[in-house]
Structures are given as structure tokens and as C-alpha cells.
Amino acid sequence: MKIKHKHYRILAGVLLTVSMAANAEVTVKDAWVRGTVPAQSVTGAFMTLTSSTDAKLVGVKTPIAMQAEIHESTMKDNVSQMHAVESVALPAGKAVQLKPGGYHMMLMGLAKPVSKGQKVPLTLEIVEADGKRSKVEVQADVRPLGR
């Protein structure tokens, strides 16, 4: 009987691990959007993401812009370049910074300027290693243009 009981405990542990691994939890820290000036139609969004399991950030949406994309800034031959990317890897348990000069989100076609004190709603689309998709709702603070 002890052997059977031991097998049930092992099976229960495996099932618990599998069920926990099936649902990535993505935490967001220090989410912010750069403020704009009148007539400016583009800005960036930045934050730190940590996923409990291997996952990818694959999209972003916001009601304040006609289009939102994930971008990467790089330096090549002393020239700063920026381009859209399909995803950003979120390795399990590791903080990934979306920041000026690196990965970030571009919000394009702003309906109106954004300024300090406002909050910008963002919906992040996450894909886990097993293909499961989920959304993370974020309220990003607007920081002054110079920061």
C-alpha cells in the first residue's frame, strides 16, 4: 500500500507542476508613456515585464492610438536604428526591460497629445511556450517629455 500511496504523491506533484506551468503570470512594473507636445502623433511606452513561465510579448493595443507596435532600437555603425519586431522573449522568472534605446512600444497615430498626470491603457498580448494566448491590462503613467 505504501508504494501505491507514494506513486499517487508523485503523480499529484507532477500534475500540480503541469497545471502551474500551463498558466503564465506576467507582472508589469514601472509602466510609463512619454508625454508629447501638440501635433505630435507618436510616442513610446516602456515597462519591465516578468513572466512566471517562458513566454513572448507579441502585441500591444491602446485606444489612444490608431496603431501600436513592439520596436527595437539598436546602434549600427554609430547610427541609431529602430524597427518593428514580431515579439520579445520573456524567459521564465527573468525581468525584461522595455526602455528607451532598446525594446519598447511605439504608439502611432495619437488622437490627441498625452501629458503628465494622465494614465494610458495598454493591452499586452502574451503567447506562452505551449501557444496559449493571454492578455495583460496595464495602466501606464504619462511622464514629461524630457524624461
**Cα 32 to Cα 35: distance, rounded to the nearest angstrom:** 9
> What is the per-residue pLDDT for 57?
98
> What is the per-residue pLDDT for 16?
44
Q: Residue 99: which CATH number?
A: 2.60.40.1890
Is the residue at 12 inside a domain?
A: no
Cβ(91)–Cβ(52) under 8 Å? no
66-105 pLDDT, tens digit per residue, is 999 999 987 777 777 788 999 999 999 999 999 999 999 9
The cell 506551468 sits on which residue?
A: 21
Question: Which domain, by its residues, includes 96?
Answer: 25-143
- For the chain, the C-alpha Rg in angstroms (whole number) is 20
Is the residue at 1 inside a domain?
A: no
**Cα 95 to Cα 36: distance, rounded to the nearest angstrom:** 28
Is the residue at 7 inside a domain?
A: no
As for how many domains the chain has, the answer is 1
Is the residue at 2 inside a domain?
A: no
> What is the per-residue pLDDT for 86?
96
> What is the per-residue pLDDT for 25?
93
Cell matching residue 16? 500540480
Name the stretches of the chain with pLDDT < 70: 1-23, 146-147
